[in-house]
Amino acid sequence: MRLFDTHCHIQFQAYKEDRAEVLDRSLEKGLMMNMVGTQKDTSKMAVQLAEKYENIYASIGTHPIHLHSTHVDEEETSFQSREENFDWEYYADLVRHPKVVAIGECGLDLFHVPKDMTPDQVLIKQKEVFIDHIRFALEFDKPMVIHCRDAHDQLIDLLWGFKKEEGKLPQGTIHCYTSNWEHARQYIDLGFYLGFTGVITFPAKKTDPKPQEDLLEVVRRAPLERILIETDSPYLTPQVNRGKRNEPWLVEEVVKKIAELREMTAEEAALTTTQNAKRLFGIA
């Protein structure tokens, strides 16, 4: 069963002690993966690892949490983000590497807002930089890896506005999709793919089951040819290993859940999502 983890971060510090072993575990299973950068150094390291390993590819870009210095406290890590701007010339040098397949992780994030700023203030810079990424992707004819957290309405409005003004958008994927069908329908109408992570394997919260129910509805309803699978390693470990550091090979749990929800075999889901990823990223 050939799988393609379309979004992982094995170049992150979480793997500094055993990175080679983690990659070997996944590559031995025949896995392909897209290692996604979030700023200059992690983008460069993604390219270096892609150059070293046959079935690893790289994406390059600036994550919105790195546009302002803020404290990030996630399930698997806690750190202070380093403020950094999108450097067109720096990324223009990296993008020429033949194994760079996409631009990102870039987008909008209203979950991580610095304490001394309002969401509106944060959005001003995030939107400017995201538009830079769109223009960069068009310039170099690459798809995008788009991050969105607590900002789907704003992101969708921006994408429709850009398409209306410029007449075109790059292709791309909405990474770690966790919203509802109405947002999903609009992304699909805009030409984007939806990337699903181990979040789809989580049980619904008893106090508020609707978000998970909405997400699983999207998995059932989205056109199969627009679905991608991902781990977002080291984050969002599927339920079977919840609480432990995630690894790319665990994307098989995402495929199993998609197959269950769509009443198809895991092999069928694996084949289609791998074909989808290769088509989006231009991999033969």
* Mean pLDDT, residues 152-159: 98
Alpha carbon distance 110, 273 (integer Å): 29
pLDDT > 50? residue 245: yes
Residues 6 or more apart in contact with residue 279 via CB below 8 angstroms = none
- For position 68, what pLDDT does the model report? 82
* Mean pLDDT, residues 207-220: 98
* Mean pLDDT, residues 54-73: 84
More confident residue, 76 or 137: 137
Share of the chain above pLDDT 90, in %: 90
- For position 29, what pLDDT does the model report? 96
Alpha carbon distance 58, 127 (integer Å): 23
Report all structural domains of the chain as residue ranges with CATH numbers, in order of start: 4-281 (3.20.20.140)
* Mean pLDDT, residues 104-109: 98
Cα dist from 67 to 85, 149, 162, whole Å:
6, 15, 21
pLDDT > 60? residue 76: no
pLDDT > 60? residue 72: no
Task: Report residue 110 as tokens.
Answer: 């209203």
- For position 123, what pLDDT does the model report? 96
* Mean pLDDT, residues 185-212: 98
pLDDT > 50? residue 233: yes
* Mean pLDDT, residues 71-97: 75
AA letter at 126: Q
Lowest mean pLDDT among 78-87, 144-153, 221-230: 78-87
Find tokens 């991050």 and name the residue: 147
Q: Full-prediction pTM beyond 0.85? A: yes
pLDDT in tens, 247-281: 999 999 999 999 999 999 999 999 999 999 999 99
